[in-house]
Chains A and B, each alone.
Chain A
Amino acid sequence: MAELDRKKDRALAPKDWTYAPAPESRDIVQLKERYGHFIGGEWLEATETYETISPASEEPLALVGQGTQADVDSAVAAARGAFADGWSALPGSERAKYLFRIARILQERSREFAVLESLNGGKPIKESRDVDLPLAAAHFFYYAGWADKLEYAFPNRQPKPVGIAGQIIPWNFPLLMLAWKVAPALACGNTVVLKPAETTPLTALLFCDVLRQAELPAGVVNIVTGDGRTGAAIVDHSDVDKIAFTGSTEVGKLIQRRLAGSGKKLTLELGGKAANIVFDDSALDQAVEGIVNGIYFNQGHVCCAGSRLFVQESIYEPLVDKLKRRLETLRVGDPLDKNTDVGAINSAMQLDKIKELVAAGEAEGAEIYQPPCRLPEKGYWFAPTVFTNVAQSYRIAQEEIFGPVLSVLTFRTPEEAIEKANNTPYGLSAGVWTEKGSRILWMAQRLRAGVVWANTYNRFDPTSPFGGYKESGFGREGGRHGLEPYLRFDE
């Protein structure tokens, strides 16, 4: 017996192991000191610049352009020129070949992109290497195939390109969000003006190199960097036909308001406060892995993060115990270290927001748990956090934190779980854990959310439509449905 107990203890023991660092080499990335805007296939010198940094070390990486009205005007003019000058009339089969090329080049250069993504955004290299890059390439490959098959996707509807797509993307999956936006837009015959997020412009700028390598005609994709002012200039530009935005609900509403009466097409992929619901008959260890993946993946900088955990009352204690023990094994630190599970918070601003909401959670009476972990001195860091004793009304149960912070709540019956899960203005995603098949489908029918993961979480695929209900936005990205926002129909 004693022997068995010792074995059991050993099995749970890895906390005091020390890992030797296993950093991915940075040498593969060659940064320029200064970047301009990529307009009409050329680099346009930026008149104003700002510094982009590594959030893990606060080390400056490069100077990038703060796009002005004039820069946006040139980008839109270049996109209009390319649209009129052949891109929209190019046979779909030829457009497809450019997209296939881009997919292949991304696969070839994936290590370089993964390292740069982790460097500029703070996400663990194992995520940028195993999730962001393969998915980004897959999106181009998937939509490449659609370019000459649009009339089969929309029979009897004579699909035509919309024109110029203005695309504004977030900092949590910089290259992947670029792929989600650019691939369907080009497949449908549109040209693009894209603005990467202020804090993570570098992979988008490196992507311009891929466009040149693929010999994509000049002006088909234009990239202007900058903050919200640059985004506003794109949104307001009278020659842009369609806006696609991924980001906060607050900014999404602002954009919807600004576009009122403009006749521009709009898709919004906004915030979330997803419920991850665990029933007492679920495989607990798998559920714990799913919960951890749901909220600590990418430091919780995920719009579909499972930030509200609903546990059936009868398994509350064992589940929370297992979860806390699992948290102790998470490696927080250098994003470029291959052992790292949780990287750096993307920016000082985001860190402040997380801290503010966590303080509010404590003040409102929730109980905080953070595993012991040493956080690096430089850079922006936040330890994985679990709140228990959370009431539905607490801000940490209502507002999107967008950080590695989980709020645990309980329920007794499936009806109660649905009621609580749906009690939010958001509706992007949800998770359900149970071994009972009929209950999965019953829950899936009633959860008001665009994506439901059952016995899994945070899975993405180019063939799978993604997008929200309610204030999480409208329109879908991925799959056949992801083409529709980039097409108009003569009906």
Chain B
Amino acid sequence: MSRLPVKKTYKLFIGGAFPRSESGRTYEAEGQNVARASRKDVRDAVRAARAAFGGWSEATAYNRGQVLYRLAEMVEARVSEFAELATGRDEVERAIDRIVWYAGWADKLPQVLGGSNPVAGPYFNFTVPEPTGVTAVLAPDDPPLLGLVTRVLPPLVGGSVVVAVASETRPLAAIELAEALATSDVPAGVINLLTGFRAELAPILASHMDVNAIDVCGADGQAAELEELAAENVKRVVHGRADVQSPWEIASYLELKTVWHPIGQ
């Protein structure tokens, strides 16, 4: 007699745990029942992210780099699983390489994006990039893994924390990624992944007063409405592309801080 396989329940990833949607609702995608996040789930995710921000942003850049590199190791270990959920092995390998590429940026940002400023007076003056804070990411539908990785790595590497809405049509790769995250060293709450209806979740994130930036990459026709909502607390709005790799992507989630001090005896 053949063995009956144990089937997976597809859940959300909030604060390092895998809860079902508080609403109890699911929707069907890729032939599976996937959690359909609610307004309450979004709020929980933002709270978890905010709670994780202090630790993640104050971690040394070297540490953040290693933690993200470790994530690449965790994804590499699941290449075949991911290959089935993504468009193929090539997408997975590109996603892994992209994580490694960004991991290596963590401890170079202040040198490339900041500097000291030669002010006309007896002051030492320097500018350093700092993370923006809680970032909402609307991942594109395709490619399901590489698109998500492309959009969440830039805020993460700079020290921001993320609440991401996964591909609506192909959410399983995101859930697989959550499992890789849970076994990596990325602290709980630093990245939170929601599945559900983007048109429902996006406005909640765009108008949330404790979200500092929003990437409307996957917003389809909804971007203008979201931008309008984002103005309520002067959010940084990013129009991200699904497949791009650049330090300027990281810069979108950085604030520049300039410090002055007198020079004297």
Enumerate chain A interface residues (CB-CB to B < 8 A).
Answer: 138, 157, 249, 252-254, 256-257, 259-261, 268, 270, 425, 440, 444-445, 449-456, 459, 461, 463-467, 469-474, 476, 479-481, 489, 491
A489-B248 contact in complex given A253-B232, A257-B228, A456-B123, C-beta closer than 8 Å: yes
Interface residues of B in 220-263 (CB under 8 A from A): 223-228, 230-234, 236, 244, 246, 248, 255-262
> Which of B6-14, B86-94, B114-122, B190-198 lines the interface with chain A?
B114-122
> CA of A456 to CA of B259 in the docked complex: distance in angstroms?
10
Contact across chains for B127 and A481 when beta carbons are under 8 A apart = yes
Is the pair A260, B225 in contact by a Cβ cutoff of 8 Å? yes
B203-231 near A? 1/0 per residue, CB < 8 Å = 00000000010000000000111111011
Indicate if the CB atoms of A261 and B257 lie closer than 8 Å: no
| Contact between chains at A249 and B234 (CB < 8 Å) | yes
By a CB distance below 8 angstroms, the chain A residues around B233 are 425, 470-471
Distance between A450 CB and nearest chain B CB, rounded to angstroms: 6
Bound together, the chains give a CA A345 to CA B258 distance in angstroms of: 29
- Docked CA distance A376–B57 (Å): 52
From residue A419, how far is it (CB to closest CB) to chain B in Å?
12
B125 interface residue (CB < 8 Å to A): yes
> 16 A-B residue contacts at CB 8 Å?
A254-B231, A257-B231, A260-B224, A425-B233, A451-B258, A452-B258, A454-B261, A455-B262, A456-B260, A463-B119, A465-B127, A467-B256, A469-B132, A471-B234, A476-B256, A479-B117
Closest CB-CB distance, A437 to chain B, in whole Å?
Answer: 9
Q: Which 5 A-B pairs have the closest CB atoms?
A: A261-B224, A260-B227, A256-B231, A461-B119, A260-B228
Contact of B117 among A440, A450, A461, A472 (CB under 8 A): A461
B window 76-117: CB within 8 A of A: 115, 117
Q: Which residues of A contact B244 (CB under 8 A)?
A: 491
Query: Does A491 contact B246, Cβ atoms closer than 8 Å?
Result: yes
Given A451-B257, A451-B258, A481-B256, decide whether A256 and B234 contact each other with a Cβ distance below 8 A: yes
Measured between alpha carbons, how far is A450 from B114 in the docked complex, in Å? 13
Tell me if A444 and B225 are in contact (CB < 8 A). Answer: no
Do the beta carbons of A469 and B119 come within 8 Å of each other? no
Chain A residues whose C-beta falls within 8 Å of the C-beta of B119 in the assembled complex? 459, 461, 463-464
Between A and B, how many residue pairs show CB distances below 8 Å?
Answer: 106
Asked if residues A470 and B212 are in contact (CB atoms below 8 Å), the reply is yes
Q: Helix, strand, loop or mixed for chain A's interface?
A: mixed
CB A145 to nearest CB in B, in angstroms, measures 12
Q: A450 touching B258 by the CB < 8 A rule? A: yes
When distances are taken between beta carbons in the complex, the residues of chain B under 8 Å from A455 are 261-262
Contact A463 B261 (CB under 8 A): no
Please name the residue on chain B nearest to A255 by beta carbon: B231
Q: Are B117 and A464 in contact (CB under 8 A)?
A: yes
Once bound together, how far apart are the Cα atoms of A252 and B226, in whole Å?
A: 17
**Across-interface contacts of A461 in B (CB, < 8 A):** 117, 119-121, 125
Chain B contacts of A253 at CB under 8 A? 231-232, 234
Measured CB to CB, the nearest residue on chain B to A452 is B259
A465 to B227, CA, bound (A): 26
Chain A residues, CB < 8 A from B232: 253
- Across the interface, name the chain B residue whose C-beta is closest to A454: B261
**Chain A, residue nearest B236 (CB):** A474
Q: How far is the CA of A451 from the CA of B262 in the complex (A)?
A: 14
What is the minimal beta-carbon distance from B240 to any residue of chain A, in angstroms? Answer: 13
Q: A471-B234, A491-B246 are in contact. Are A463 and B117 (CB under 8 A)?
A: yes
**A479 B260 Cβ-Cβ under 8 A:** no
Contact A450 B260 (CB under 8 A): no
Chain A min CB distance to B200 (Å): 19
Q: Contact: B223 with A261, CB < 8 Å?
A: yes
Please name all residues of chain B whose beta carbon is closer than 8 Å to the beta carbon of A456 when the two chains form the complex: 123, 260-262
Give the distance in Å from the alpha carbon of A470 to the alpha carbon of B223 in the complex: 21
Contacts of A260 in B (CB 8 A): 224-228, 230-231
Contact present for A479 and B212 (CB under 8 Å):
no
Q: Which of A157, A467, A469 has the most CB of B within 10 A?
A: A469
Q: Distance (Å) between the CB of B243 and the closest chain A CB?
A: 12
Q: A residues within 8 A CB of B262?
A: 455-456
Q: How far is the CB of B260 from chain A (nearest CB, A)?
A: 5
CB-CB nearest in chain B for A142: B120
**What's the Cα separation between A456 and B258 when bound, in Å?**
13
Name the CB-closest residue of B to A268.
Answer: B234
Q: Once bound together, how far apart are the Cα atoms of A339 and B136, in whole Å?
A: 53
Q: Which of B119-140 contact A (CB under 8 A)?
A: 119-121, 123, 125, 127, 132
A252, A257, A270, A481: residue with the most chain B Cβ atoms closer than 10 Å: A481
Least CB separation from A473: chain B residue: B234
Q: How far is the CA of A474 from the CA of B231 in the complex (A)?
A: 12
Residues of A within 8 A of B234 (CB): 249, 252-253, 256, 268, 270, 470-474
Name B260's contact: one of A259, A445, A453, A489 (CB within 8 Å). Answer: A453
Q: Is the CB of B248 within 8 A of A491?
A: yes
B263 CB → nearest A CB, Å: 10
- Expressed in whole angstroms, the minimum distance between the Cβ of B130 and any Cβ of chain A is 8
B contact residues around A465 at 8 Å (CB): 117, 127, 256, 258
Q: Which residues of B contact A444 (CB under 8 A)?
A: 257, 259
Quick check: A469 and B255 within 8 Å, CB to CB? yes
Contact of A464 with B231 in the complex, beta carbons under 8 Å: no
Residues of B within 8 A of A449 (CB): 257
Q: With a CB–CB cut-off of 8 A, which chain B residues contact A257? A: 228, 231
B212:A452 contact, CB within 8 angstroms? no
Report Cα–Cα, A452/B224, bound state, in Å.
34
Complexed CA–CA distance, A284 and B225 (Å): 51
A-chain residues with CB within 8 Å of residue B260 when the two chains form the complex: 451-454, 456, 459, 464
Q: How far is the CA of A456 from the CA of B255 in the complex (A)?
A: 22
